[in-house]
Amino acid sequence: MRDPADPTTPRRRALWFSLGANGGFLIVEVVAGFAFGSLALIADATHMATDVAGLLIALVAMSLAARPASARMTYGLQRTEVLGALVNGVVLVATAAWIFVEAIRRLGTPEHVDGGGVIVVATLGLAVNVLSALWLRRVAGRSLNLHAAYLHMLLDAAGSVGAMIAGVAVVVAGADWMDPVVSILVGLLVLYSTWGLLRDTVRVLLEGAPRGIDVPDVEAALAEIDGVAAVHHTHIWDLASDTSVLSTHVVLDDSPTLHDAQLRGDRLKSLLADRFGITHSTIELECHECDSRFAIPPG
């Protein structure tokens, strides 16, 4: 049985709620989209289908990431959370491409849209998406996996607003052409928002420095500790989107006993955890800088 104090428990509940709500409404929106002849609703339903797939991916990734480390997977499967976010981002881009193709086709030959029906369904969809997005945002923290799920909900809410606008335009002015125009705008919003998600996931996979952590600042903070002469060969990366890891070499300004050196190392690790949130750190203590032949070249 899962421990209620487990920090992933609120995230899991939020994902299950979002999955149930969006999965149920997806059926309603698909039927309504074809019944009312609205591309905006169909586009939003297609996006909602990717939402459901994305939420499933997020749940599977979270379950895999929670598995313990093994002799072969010494860090466990924490990075599956990032891979899940990457897959979600690619799916969002593909969805936007489909919306563009279908919207351009409809601009050439506008189809009649039942504006009143579109407004009702889009309003219900907006409520589902906003509730899901708010809950996911509250529990997401630094998790790219949860951020991807939240982004799905937020963009689908934007799609529902766009469908409402298109429905009003059809009812008030008979402007059937607004339906594909709104769909294109929603597709552009999807691409704009997905860019940041893909950028962050690729940075994690390439083991770039975490956002919000500056390597020179970390080295300067370590160098301020009494007894530290220099800090070099520092590497900081994200194991998962909310788990930062560090390795560095610290030169001590004297020749302490092994016991004293270990105490200094513990003090350095406490500083990293308290000031920078880095709880996984490997510090090599030296009495002089290591031979450059064994150093990892920058870049």
For 76-118, write each residue's pLDDT tens digit.
787 787 887 788 788 878 878 888 888 888 787 766 777 788 7
CATH number at residue 277: 3.30.70.1350
pLDDT at residue number 241: 67
Least confident of 52-66, 151-165, 190-204, 270-284: 52-66
Which residues span the domain enclosing 272? 215-294
pLDDT at residue number 47: 66
Residue of higher predicted confidence among 273 and 6: 273
Residues 143, 20, single domain; the answer is yes
| Count of domains observed in the chain | 2
Residues 129, 192, single domain; the answer is yes
pLDDT at residue number 81: 73
pLDDT at residue number 299: 47
Q: Does residue 3 lie in a domain region?
A: no
What's the rounded mean pLDDT across residues 266-278? 92
What's the rounded mean pLDDT across residues 268-281? 91
The per-residue pLDDT of the chain, averaged, comes to 80
Residues 266, 237, single domain; the answer is yes
Residues 250, 151, single domain; the answer is no
Q: Does residue 288 lie in a domain region?
A: yes
pLDDT at residue number 185: 83
Q: Does residue 299 lie in a domain region?
A: no
What's the rounded mean pLDDT across residues 237-245? 81
53 vs 23: CA distance, rounded Å: 9
Residues 239, 195, single domain; the answer is no
Residues 247, 160, single domain; the answer is no
What's the rounded mean pLDDT across residues 45-73? 75
pLDDT at residue number 157: 83
Residues 142, 289, single domain; the answer is no
Tell me: the pLDDT tens digits for 131-140?
Answer: 888 888 887 7
Residues 19, 110, single domain; the answer is yes
pLDDT at residue number 290: 60
What's the rounded mean pLDDT across residues 153-180? 82
Residues 172, 288, single domain; the answer is no
Q: Does residue 228 lie in a domain region?
A: yes
Residues 93, 199, single domain; the answer is yes
Of 205, 233, 255, which marks where a domain is finished? 205
Residue of higher predicted confidence among 102 and 1: 102
- Cross-strand pairs, 124: none
Question: pTM for this one?
Answer: 0.66
Q: Provide the residue type at 124 as one letter.
A: L
Q: Does residue 210 lie in a domain region?
A: no
Residues 91, 186, single domain; the answer is yes
Residues 152, 243, single domain; the answer is no
Tell me: the pLDDT tens digits for 246-258?
Answer: 999 999 988 888 8
